[in-house]
Amino acid sequence: MNAISRLATVISLASLLPLSAFPLSTLAADSKGSVEVVHWWTSGGEKAAVDVLKAQVEKDGFTWKDGAVAGGGGATAMTVLKSRAVAGNPPGVAQIKGPDIQEWASTGLLDTDVLKDAAKTEKWDSLLDKKVSDTVKYEGDYVAVPVNIHRVNWLWINPEVFKKAGIEKAPTTLQEFYAAGDKLKAAGFIALAHGGQPWQDSTVFEAVVLSVMGVDGYKKALVDLDNGALTGPEMVKALTELKKVATYMDADGKGQDWNLEAAKVINGKAGMQIMGDWAKSEWTAAKKVAGKDYECVAFPGTDKAFTYNIDSLAVFKQKDKGTAAAQQDIAKIVLGENFQKVFSINKGSIPVRIDMLSDMGKYGFDSCAQTAAKDFLADAKSGGLQPSMAHNMATTLAVQGAFFDVVTNFINDPKADPAIAAKQLGTAVKAAK
Ligand code: GAL
């Protein structure tokens, strides 16, 4: 059974339960309507970002019911969302990404009408890159509003720690990365802050695949899911390098949240972290300045590529008119110029609006965000712009789960063999397709 019919089967049970069996949320007497928003933006920096949206929705007269579900990468939030849908009680709005938006839309639970007017009057089609708008449309209709764009293939560096360890510059090749890691270890630092959760393991895996196999190899293996690329000699090489990168990972990082690991770099206990630019939200919340207190560079060997991760808020069909009005309000706010600026500055991302991407300095974005926007536009032309597998942009959740299992087992098994792991990748992905 493919992923779409799998989700559809689960969700179809929802029709057995009447929506009215569930009480509407309590509404303040003067509220125009209430909306629950399910998301996983719970780290300090990310909460500051989502609070910008909440405050505006409330200012517009609606009641915001916060449906935050902790857990980086959103796996727990997605489990909660599925069970809510099965129970016939989906929230009005939920953070859903990439191909999963199509999967959810095909169950009939997403609303294909409610965003129509906003999309037309606000001219979303011309504000967004086609790659972005295609992701959030189902059969031509918007079923979600894109919020921001994250770059995933970053390396975050504490320059003060580098200095103490005698490292002169940010690594640009894997060899330089290993040399820096050795110096950091020798000086008593954690070389690579890393939380050993499956999505974090695969965030590192895909950066290494991109570095070793290049953009074409990355696309073939992680986007097209080509069996030859998944099991071939280049993948074996990538897995061999991944095992080496793993030797620099924080020994206390097993099961650790990404933001707690980011804190180790911020506080000068660790030298580096491989993480998408939501990591910047933690640096920003700690009042650190890009280019001065910390450095952001493309993961070694990937500076001509941009693995993207677009956060989107999908709208679920609701009976209540007030909720529909609140969904429309959220959509309008999200694509507004001011929100795009303030949210992304807090979140570490860049705007989804193309007019803003080409003029980042004007909005006060820092050097990391300016580099990200410049690279996004250049890589969109060169083909270097590729969807992140680890962040649900390239495949369905089922295929992503297959990658996660093999990669995390490989990193943790002291006897793991790269050639065997590459074969396992091929088999697991085939079964999940
Ligand atoms: C990503 C998401 C980001 C950030 C990150 C850590 O999947 O797109 O916005 O929340 O997970 O949780």
Complete domains list, the chain, with CATH: 3-150+310-372 (3.40.190.10), 154-307+390-432 (3.40.190.10)
**Helix, strand or coil, per DSSP, at residue 394:** coil
pLDDT at 2: 53
pLDDT at 16: 47
Q: What distance in angstroms lies between residue 266's CA and the mean position of ligand 1's atoms?
A: 19
Q: What distance in angstroms lies between residue 280's CA and the mean position of ligand 1's atoms?
A: 12
Reported as a single tens digit per residue, the pLDDT across 350-371 is 999 999 999 999 999 999 999 9
User: At CA 415, angle to CA 255 and CA 188, rounded to 5?
Assistant: 55
Ligand 1 atom having least distance to the Cα of 46 = 10
pLDDT at 131: 86
Unique residue bearing structure tokens 């993961």: 299
pLDDT at 20: 39
Q: What distance in angstroms lies between residue 96's CA and the mean position of ligand 1's atoms?
A: 11
pLDDT at 23: 44
pLDDT at 30: 76
Who contacts 358 (Cβ-Cβ below 8 Å, separation ≥6)? 373, 377
Q: What distance in angstroms lies between residue 182's CA and the mean position of ligand 1's atoms?
A: 30
Task: Return phi, psi of residue 65, to 5°.
Answer: -100, 115
Q: Is 307 in the pocket of ligand 1 (CB under 6 A)?
A: no
Q: Is 72 in the pocket of ligand 1 (CB under 6 A)?
A: yes
- How many Cβ atoms from other residues are within 10 Å of residue 124's Cβ? 22
pLDDT at 19: 45
Q: Is 395 in the pocket of ligand 1 (CB under 6 A)?
A: no
Q: Is 343 in the pocket of ligand 1 (CB under 6 A)?
A: no
* Residues of the chain under the 50 pLDDT cut: 1, 13-25
Q: Is 181 in the pocket of ligand 1 (CB under 6 A)?
A: no
Q: Is 387 in the pocket of ligand 1 (CB under 6 A)?
A: no
Residue 154 bridge partners (DSSP)? 298
Q: Is 341 in the pocket of ligand 1 (CB under 6 A)?
A: no
